[in-house]
Amino acid sequence: MFRLSGPREDTRNLPINQRTSRKSGSARTLDERFIRILKIFKWGPDAEKALEVLKLRVDHRLVREVLNIDVAINVKMQFFKWAGKRRHFEHDSTTYMTLICCLADSGMFGDMWKMIQEMVRQSVVIDPKDLSEVVRLLGKAKMINKALSLFYQVKGRKCKPTASTYNSIILMLMQENHPDKVYDLYSEMCNEGNCFPDTVTYSALMSAFSKLGHHNPAIRLFDEMKENGFHPNAKIYTTLLGIYFRDGKVEKAIDLVVEMKEKGCAPTVYTYTELIRGLAKAGRVEEAYGIYRDMLKQGCKPDVVLINNVINILGKVGRLADAQKLFQELRENCGSSSSRVYAVMIKNLGKVGRLTEAIDLFNEIKKVNAVPDIYAYNALMSAMVRAGSIDEAYSLMRNMEENGCAADINSHNIILNGLAKSGGPQRAMVMFEKMKHSKVQPDGVTYNTLLGCLSRAGMFEEAAKLMREMRSCGFEYDVITYSSILEAVGKIDVDSTHQAP
């Protein structure tokens, strides 16, 4: 049976964080001779004799000490099993948890799960702290269903979860992208009567609702937590900031940042990233760039993601000189940059027809000990297509696959778009058919690109056939192209009942 109780006799005087810690200091140091025997002879008769000679009594403290020393994991497991068979000795949660954590550190998740199951089967006191740690380890091992099953099994045996235990489950679900299950845990938590949501809970819940697109519940939770006396942290403010921007509530987002500062909660680099990106999407580029400059003056160090966003923003509004200046600062300050930042600059140069400079930047990626990723390849292919170098772009796509970077649907759509605009419908159709028989299947963009190509070429019967195929695949027509085809040839039966989206 599972029950809550006080610490075992031999752990009563240990600090609570030492009972399950693997790396904390022990109240008694093992004799170095015994450690050498374990390292040289592993576990066996010699080690057993050493225990008797050195008069080391097998108790929970000794077991934890042996499991914490630097010996092979199989030695620890053999010793653990041997100790469990000694007279007048039974493993408790501290010894089980120590071995479980050792197995997790060694990546032996299968053995870890077996040991967790054994602990549950025995008459072991599993307290909420142990349960939280087990859930965390199972989440790390991607054993989500096992973690949930264990949580309810232990809970059903009189181990009352605390807010921290529920938070472990909720955070695990968020980390493994299961936001849909989070609210159920929250409701269950509130119904427990003995544990209530805290800042960690609210943060995870708001992130879950944000991911699911349920913005109003997230906003209500923000108000609820303040009513309950909790102070939002920077992560919570940042989550709500993103929600306001996605809802087009720009002024509310700005007011939120003001509130955040007034409450003494300093914006983080993630807050600034959300703020700058949101303002830029709202067309307030100068304001976004000004905030970036103010952020630097206040000593907040930007990361690559933020710089990437700022360079992208400047490039979109034609401020290429400022984007290049920022990119140069990044190279000078960091010595190198990620392939993703290079991709943004390559894309910016491609938009203004500076293909040679874009190619030079792409070649520079390898010189700074980086590897061109899919974004860099796609950016250069797009630049080549814009410059009319379709064959060079097609060759680059083949080259990227030879270098171990698989082309994605965007890669294919870039080339198809180039062929559709300058290579004629025949070449575009050939590539389209190849895509349908490859791992990269056409998407809505692919169909609409080819549809526009056929329409411009006056191939209306082929266009009508493609539209029927699109509909059967669940893709929506481009409204303008759809209307032009129907207007041009009303006699062609595309779909007498279909309405343009």
Q: How far apart are CA 316 and CA 172, in angstroms?
A: 38
d(Cα 431, Cα 439) in Å, to the nearest integer?
Answer: 13
Is pLDDT larger for residue 332 or for residue 362? 362
Cβ neighbours, 10 Å, residue 254? 19
Q: Is 158:2 a contact under the CB 8 Å cutoff?
A: yes
Contact assessment for residue 233 and residue 203, using Cβ atoms and an 8 Å cutoff: yes
- Higher-confidence position of 114 and 188: 114
Confidence (pLDDT) at 334: 57
Q: Which of 431, 344, 357, 417 is nearest to 386 (CA)?
A: 417
Enumerate residues 6+ apart whose C-beta is below 8 A from 185: 166, 169, 170, 173
Q: Is the pLDDT of residue 207 over 60?
A: yes
**pLDDT at residue 485 in the model:** 65
- Give which of 56, 62, 58, 65 is closest to 24, Cα–Cα: 65
Q: Who's near 387: CB < 8 A, 6+ residues apart?
A: 350, 353, 355
**Predicted local confidence at residue 486, as pLDDT:** 63
Can you give the pLDDT at residue 115? 95
Q: State the DSSP code for 141.
A: T
Q: Is pLDDT larger for residue 368 or for residue 335? A: 368
Residues 6+ apart with CB under 8 A from 183: 205, 208, 209, 217
CA–CA dist 166, 161 (Å, integer): 7
Confidence of residue 64 (pLDDT cuts 50, 70, 90): very high
pLDDT at 500 > cutoff 60: no
- Position 231 scores a pLDDT of 92
- Distance from C-alpha of 236 to C-alpha of 207, rounded to nearest angstrom: 8
CA atoms of 13 and 314, how far apart (whole Å):
61
Closest CA to 168 of 192, 180, 150: 150
DSSP 299: T
| Cα(206)–Cα(215) distance, integer angstroms | 9
Asked whether residue 227 carries a pLDDT value surpassing 70, the answer given is yes
* pLDDT (0 to 100) of residue 474: 87
Q: Tens of pLDDT along 268-314? A: 999 999 999 999 999 999 999 999 989 988 888 888 888 888 998 88
The whole-angstrom distance between residue 334's C-alpha and the CA centroid of its chain comes to: 25
| pLDDT score recorded for residue 73 | 93
pLDDT of 21 above 80: no
- pLDDT value for 241: 96
What pLDDT score was predicted for residue 493?
53
Mean pLDDT over the full length of the chain: 83
- Answer for the pair 368, 334: CB distance below 8 angstroms, yes or no: no
22-36, 202-216, 428-442: least confident range: 22-36
Q: What is the pLDDT of residue 5?
A: 33
Average pLDDT over residues 183-204: 82
For residue 159, give both structure tokens.
């181990």
Query: With b meaning 16 or more CB within 10 Å and e meaning fewer, what string describes 431-465?
Result: bbeebeeeebebbebbbbbbbbbbbeeebbebbbe
Spacing of C-alpha 278 from chain mean position: 21
Contacts 24+ apart (CB under 8 A), 384-390: 384/350, 384/355, 384/418, 385/414, 385/415, 385/417, 385/418, 386/350, 386/351, 386/353, 386/355, 387/350, 387/353, 387/355, 388/422, 389/355, 390/415, 390/418, 390/419, 390/422, 390/423
Please classify residue 282 by burial: count the beta carbons closer than 10 Å to its beta carbon, then call 0-12 exposed, 13-18 middle and 19+ buried: middle
Look at residue 232 and tell me whether its pLDDT is greater than 80.
yes
Give the whole-angstrom CA distance, residue 64 versus residue 106.
17
Q: pLDDT for 39-54, tens place per residue? A: 877 888 878 887 777 7
For residue 80, pLDDT over 90 is answered with yes
CA-to-CA distance for 125 and 121, rounded, in angstroms?
11
Closest CA to 378 of 344, 354, 427: 344
Q: How far apart are CA 120 and CA 2, in angstroms?
A: 9
With tokens 């990437």, the residue in question is: 308
pLDDT digits (tens, 9 = 90+) for 398-413: 999 888 899 999 999 9
User: What 3-state class would DSSP assign to 468?
Assistant: helix
Rounded to 5 degrees, what are φ and ψ at 125?
Answer: -80, 115
Nearest by Cα to 463 from 471, 475, 455, 473: 455
Each residue's pLDDT tens digit, 108-152: 999 999 999 999 998 788 888 999 899 889 988 989 889 888 888
The two structure tokens encoding residue 229: 């006396």
Choose the weakest-confidence range: 32-41, 52-61, 127-136, 467-476: 32-41
Question: How many DSSP H helices and E strands does the chain contain?
Answer: 28, 0
499 CB neighbour count, 10 Å cutoff: 6
